Amino acid sequence: MFEKSQLPPERFLLDNKTLDLIYYVSFIVLVVNALIISYVLLKKLSDKFQRIRRDEVKENVQEFLSDWIIRFEGSKEPKTLNALQEFPICNSLKKKIYQEVLYEEIFQFNQVLLGFEKQTLKDLYLLLSFDRLLTKKLKSRKWYVLVSSVNQLISIEDHNTSDISGLINHPNQQVRLSALKAKIAFSENPFPFLARLKYPLSEWEIFEVIKTIKLKDLKNFDDIHLLINHDEPSLQVLGINLARIFQLLYLKIDVKKLLDHADLKVRRSMIEFITECGNGDHVVYLKKIFEEQLEPQQKVILNYIQEYGCDEDIPFLEYVIKNYNPALKIWAIKVLYHMNQNSKIHFNYLLSSDSKDRRKITQHLIDNQW
């Protein structure tokens, strides 16, 4: 028998109801854990089965698409549902998984096809009413679905499926860019609708728009002034850069107004334009505004002087070499070397200059064969 002092304290004893509750809770936790583990395992098995099944369907669909293209190669026979029934896969195409995979594979195939083969694939796309499905997807509220759908629209060259003008001013940048590229791809004159944009363009968007226009091999630039004379600086940059890239030499624009523009990027684009597409008429004015520019614009001005400068501009270059930061000193020395024969003589004088700094920079440029 325990002595009284050896008996457990009453506060540590659990009554039967509490013990039963603990047992029930433990049992429920075990059951829930077992159910979760079972669900995860079944989900993994199901996903694996779906992947295997989808791969099988994908293989069948790819074989069908190849046969479809070969079937109509060199033939003017119309692509009809009766022609589709000649293929063993016809009945399977009623199944959802076959329709989903076929829809995806048409766009995958389309990326590597040209001419007749591409048109044959587009005829199948229209025959199966996939254009209606694409129209439905273009009304999605999910930005990534919209981007994917617009890219598919461009890929299949379907001009008539849906009006995507509303997406050009979408709040999401990637949706806007995709819609812009589609409108450019389907338009003979993209400048009027570009001029109606409500959002400014980022440098990335400007690059992508220019790339799309270059791929389109656009011929008509009559309305590019709508961009160059726009109130939005990013659209002005786009217009000026296009004018430079496509060598539009006879634009009726106010050059000095654009050179004095409040936006740095507009000024830089304009200086680059007159350097590549202009003449030497602006050397004096550019030297006058050189001081107030930032370094990127100053370098472009120096490039302009290299292209169109004369002996009268040598003192200006020497002033830059003497008074500006090392990066501009190097740039001005390069201009001095390349501008003309007389400026090259002044370049040689720098090797014996009183300034150790200028001698060092000049020798460095010679050593590195710039």
The residues spanned by each domain of the chain are 50-128, 187-278, 280-369
Q: What is the pLDDT of residue 336?
A: 79
Mean pLDDT, residues 21-38? 84
Model confidence pLDDT, tens digit, residues 162-193: 578 888 888 899 999 998 998 888 888 889 98
d(C-alpha 253, C-alpha 119), whole Å? 43
In the structure, what pLDDT confidence band is assigned to residue 239 with cuts at 50, 70 and 90?
Answer: very high
d(C-alpha 6, C-alpha 327), whole Å? 90
In the structure, what pLDDT confidence band is assigned to residue 351 with cuts at 50, 70 and 90?
Answer: low
Instruction: Extract the tokens encoding 242.
Output: 């296009």
Model confidence pLDDT, tens digit, residues 89-136: 888 888 888 888 888 888 888 877 777 788 888 888 888 888 888 888
Task: List Cβ neighbours of 247 (8 Å cut-off, separation of 6 or more).
Answer: 276, 277
Mean pLDDT, residues 72-87? 76
**DSSP category for residue 72:** T
Percentages helix, strand, coil for the chain (3-state, rounded to 5) are 75, 0, 25
d(C-alpha 204, C-alpha 69), whole Å? 38
Mean pLDDT, residues 252-257? 85
In this predicted model, which residue has the larger pLDDT, 94 or 269?
269
Q: What is the pLDDT of residue 8?
A: 55
Q: Is the pLDDT of residue 232 over 90?
A: yes
Characterize 333-354 residue by residue with b for buried, 16 or more Cβ atoms within 10 angstroms of its Cβ, and e for exposed.
bbbbbebeeebeebbeebeeee
Q: What is the pLDDT of residue 210?
A: 93
Q: Is the pLDDT of residue 76 over 80?
A: no
Neighbours of 133 (CB within 10 A): 17
d(C-alpha 337, C-alpha 306), whole Å? 9
d(C-alpha 367, C-alpha 370), whole Å? 8
The answer to whether 179 and 208 have CB atoms below 8 angstroms apart is no
Output phi, psi for 323, to 5 deg: -115, -10
d(C-alpha 140, C-alpha 127), whole Å? 23
Mean pLDDT, residues 62-69? 84
Q: What is the pLDDT of residue 209?
A: 92
Percent of the chain exceeding pLDDT 90 equals 13
Instruction: Extract the tokens encoding 93.
Output: 């195409």
The answer to whether 356 and 349 have CB atoms below 8 angstroms apart is no
Neighbours of 61 (CB within 10 A): 25
Q: What is the pLDDT of residue 228?
A: 93
> What number of residues does the chain have?
370
